[in-house]
Amino acid sequence: MRKEILINSSVGETRIAILEDGRLMELFTERPEAERMVGDIYLGTVVNVVKGMRAAFVNIGHEQDAFLHFSDIGDTLKEYSAFLDLENASENGHTNRRDFHQRPVPKEGQEILVQIIKEPISTKGCRITTELSIPGRYCVLVPNSEMVGVSKKIQSVRERKRLQRLARTMRPKGFGLIVRTVAAGKDDDSLHADVDNLIKVWRKTEERIKREKPPSLVYKDLGMASSVIRDLFTPDIDRVVVDDRKLYQQIVNYLKEVTSQLSNKVELYRGKKPLFDAYGIEQEIERSLVRKIWTKSGGYVLFDHTEALTAIDVNSGKFMGRGHHDDNALKINLEAAHEIARQLRLRDIGGIIVVDFIDMTDPRCKRRLQDEFRRELRKDRAQSNISPITEFGLIEMTRERVRPSLLFSYSEPCPNCDGTGRVISKATVLTRIERWLMRYKYVGSERSLRLKVHPEVSQFLNTGFLSRIRRLMWKYWMKIELMPDEAFRLDEFKFFSKRNGHEILN
């Protein structure tokens, strides 16, 4: 299987696409106003403890208080000052795992260090834990712990034992250490250098903890592009293609420090067409935002998001089978199972998911469908649990959620229907405008244009000292005059020639 990572950087967002055999499987999006939060460490204050929910709410400086479930509290709930004397944190070198119900309960007003493990979504704040960790390329440093672990994805028993022995010898006192999958086959010096770097990062975090008062951010994890390179750029990736020279240089410099042999796989895209257009990714992204997805044989799958769960419905559509009902249903269901597993990864759908497959009476057909669906889900890095097919033909499952799904990242609640429908967000309109300019630059001759948009979009483009529209004009060397128009939809825009007033069509 050929694996590729494509990185597109623009004024409005950075997008990372992961391709397998040329097909888009995963998409990550980060925008300046909504940067990646998972992994960030905060010094916070407990503002409310709800024992009935077995949870506490912690003020970390966000609009909504963070959610700390008691199951995410470590074996000992220590105030932030305990993390500043880690050299003496361990007495006997063993961690005593305690029963979930015996874990300590935080107190209102208590100052604690917490780390974000799930980003906020809708009306829910981010989910946090008191068990901190600092990830590196090969290892993860765990402050105030004595644990030693090796990734279960390393298949070789001999290699796992070697890494476990090495981790025990190089584990700093007062810290736990987890060896990551990419460490397989790496020499001792590389792992030692990674641990030394993590210790330096933690020492800088300590200094911030001493200076800051809650609520405050004391450790910021890498940005999305850097974290994807750190976590996902493994030897089985055939190449990484970047369309921004500055970002390309940053990635190459980082790889030369940690794993120089992979830096040769990074390419700077020099094509005239936009990167995602050249690889057909834009089309796939548009498909991932629609409700209905067609399968090869004419069946289709519907995706419906609700507050409680995601409902997925499989229908026969245009399929006209000539065989037995169960044979026809199995064919459609198998195609749908492959597409659903792919769409779950691409759309990054998490939480409770219910899939309504076409009913089948033969138990063998049901078993085959379930086995095939499980096999496809194993390709996903996110953990999932799947139940047997019910008598109504339903499969109930859960999938790990770390960040909002693609639908919530690319759209916002409609102001006209109070959230029952969705429209493309203003940030996405900005990226579409930029992609229009990228295409026009190579085919158009005029450099003075008028842009007609909804007034809210016009305000969004004009915000700030160096506004978004100014950055576009500087980047593409064009003069653009904004024309707000109440008659336009939020996701609608049109360019006109300033010379003759005619609309410029793609």
Burial state string for 57-92 with b = 16 or more CB within 10 A and e = fewer than 16: bbbbebeebbbbebebbbbebeebeebeebeebbee
User: 95 or 346, which is more confident?
Assistant: 346
Per-residue pLDDT tens over the stretch 385-424: 999 988 888 999 999 887 777 877 777 777 656 666 677 8
Residue type, 477: W
Question: Strand 127-129 and strand 111-118: pairing?
Answer: antiparallel
Per-residue pLDDT tens over the stretch 370-395: 999 999 998 888 889 999 988 888 99
Reported confidence tier of residue 89, pLDDT bands at 50, 70, 90: very low
* Residues 480-500, mean pLDDT to the nearest whole number: 91
pLDDT at res. 95: 42
DSSP-derived secondary structure for 247-262: HHHHHHHHHHHH-GGG
pTM score, whole prediction = 0.72
pLDDT at res. 313: 95
Reported confidence tier of residue 425, pLDDT bands at 50, 70, 90: confident
Question: Strand 479-484 and strand 127-129: pairing?
Answer: unpaired
> What whole-number distance in Å separates Cα of residue 413 and Cα of residue 419?
4
Backbone angles phi, psi at 169, to 5 degrees: -75, -30
pLDDT of 291 > 60? The answer is yes
Burial class (CB in 10 A: 0-12, 13-18, 19+), 485: middle
Cα end-to-end distance, the chain, whole Å: 36
pLDDT at res. 336: 94
